[in-house]
Structure 1
Amino acid sequence: MSNPTGITSQEAKTDTPRLVLRTYRASDHDYVDHLFYSTYFALVPEGVKCKLKSPLFWVIWIGLYSYLLAIVPVLLSGLNVPSWTATVLKVFLTFSWVVVSFAGVFVFTDRFEVVDKVENVRQNDLSDPEVYYLNWTKEEVEVQDEDKLGGEGKKRVTFDKDAKPATELVRSQKPLQEQAPSHFWVLTLDNKPCGMVGLAHYNQQVLSRRPAQPPALKLMVAALFRRYGLTVPENFSNLQDKVLPVVFAQPQEDGVATLQRLTVRPEYQGCGLSTLLIDRVMSWANEKGLQRIEAKTNELESKAANILRVNHGFKLIKKEKKGWFGQYEKTWSCDVQEWMATHEAAANTYKKSEKN
């Protein structure tokens, strides 16, 4: 039988995309970092929509708009201008206020809120997933002055007295009995990361590695006092020294872990890849004897929350207000055994499929 396409079976196999779900490797760091922040910034429109649904936003918006219209007669009073000038000015102010206000909401969401969330993750667990998820420890040790080459000791010589001693990074995995039930997976399509997910368990409090900053309002007040040569009040002096350490993660109960960093590249969303990642997390959690998996979502992650709730049976156990304009954080929970009972086919896919 003739082959009208001219493509051999071997070529067809080569052209088929290869999807692989595997454990994170150190060489994945740059890819994972880019995958996270590029995907998260795509959620900015969700944050803008959230603010537009807030009654407080519209109260402030309408109040300021009314003020702008009210000052039109004041601006034109005493001026010899045609009667239609007030109407034109009101139309101009209306158009300007709409553009400026909604652009401001977008910029604030993008440059302040989303940047803050992204940097908090990048400077903590995604700074080194091997340490936070895969139970590795890393420390810098000073390199010895003598290098033994060819069986003879040769001393390194330097003429720079201020030079710091050379160091190297030594990595080792924690003993089995000290390892936390946490893990990190990367989903690749033709060897390029297109998704990821982590399962974290913290047995002790973890402080944020991101430098803590004093409240912006206090910094502004202190700057004003210094600007005009006034004595800075005690409450506003030495603000950096008064900043308390920021807690990144609180210790968790035994048998409980948190599903986080669920990410799929925007062009592959809607293809079931997030379910593939969650299936792996839940089946692995069952293998490790975990009883409950939690997850947290915010106002930007409504799609992820819907996937957890509808497709995987996660239940909302807490909703915490995080701002005045509809910002929130939801905590979800799923019983591992209940999930296994309702997703048996998905769980069987990963049984003894890989040693991770």
Structure 2
Amino acid sequence: MTMDIWLVISFLSVWIILIGFIGLTLVKTGSIAVVFRFKRFVRVMQPGLNFRIPLIEFVEHYSTQTHQEELPAEADMIDRVHDVAEAGKKLPFRVLMKGKGEAIFYMKKTETEWNQVHFQELDEAKKTALEEDSLHSPLTGEIAVVVEWYLKDDEERSIKNFIQNVIPESERNREEEVRKRIEDMASRTLQELLGPVTLGHAQEIMPFFSLLIRERIEILVGEKGEIDRPWGIHIRDAYIKSIHPGRRVNEARADAAASVSKKQEAIRVAEGMATATRLQADADAFSEQRKGEGEAARIGAMAAVMTDDNARFIATLDVAEQVLPKANLVIMPSDLGAIGGIIRLGQEIKK
């Protein structure tokens, strides 16, 4: 009997030790743990070693550090090439933005007030500047947004709000659910705010649109406006990181640049050929000029020495030497004399 009691005590002791070991829960620094009993909120565990009842109480861990979310994804996980994202990647926020003729322009009135005007209401200098900038044409903008938030852990009420008002869908946890809801709000807000303006104008006043997006997200999480179902989180910052033209615009610009380059190359080639032609023509003209000057000098020299019959006879022989190779064969009468033969030879050549 005594042995049986000792066996029972030993068995229970082992189980108590095992349950106590299993029930130990370590909460890391920079996080908290929420204890649920039968899916109902019970208490909050602070960083350090804590205890829960095994098989009855379950724990969810949440970071109290600042979450920095780049939306819709980190830059290296964005597919800017395709209309349907590749596996494991996401498409950027894409907004079809107006051209200058239909767009709204925000003009600062005071530090906190802005006026909305149309293109026709702008001064001529501003109109000219807009017309010369291609970013004020109808374009598709690709936008990235950054949101920083953290869970308020200074009071239990905020944590209860987080548990009660952030109910995950699908397989997401609560932190992933926060990201998804903020991403959806950012997407809708970008379409609403940036759709009516030009891409160039959105880039010019990006801080202003960042403030509007932050305000929308703060209302979403219950930090501003009519607070109905607060999430128990704080939006530390929210802003537009970048606004870029879509890939089709970049491709069009590249094609235009290539076309201009080809045109300039063709112009350079044509100018080079024209220059070469002019130089050749100038060289030929100069050669003919020098040749004519030489011939005139030779004839002048001949005329200067042709003062007697012997000199004229030598000149006749020189002309015959230049002309005979180009002449047809003729028979000259002997009674015409040397000069008459040369004249007759010239007449034959003219024929």
Task: Please indicate the TM-score interval, normalised by the length of the shorter structure.
Answer: under 0.3
More helix by share: 2
Larger Rg: 2
Larger RCO (CA within 8 A; separation ≥ 6):
1
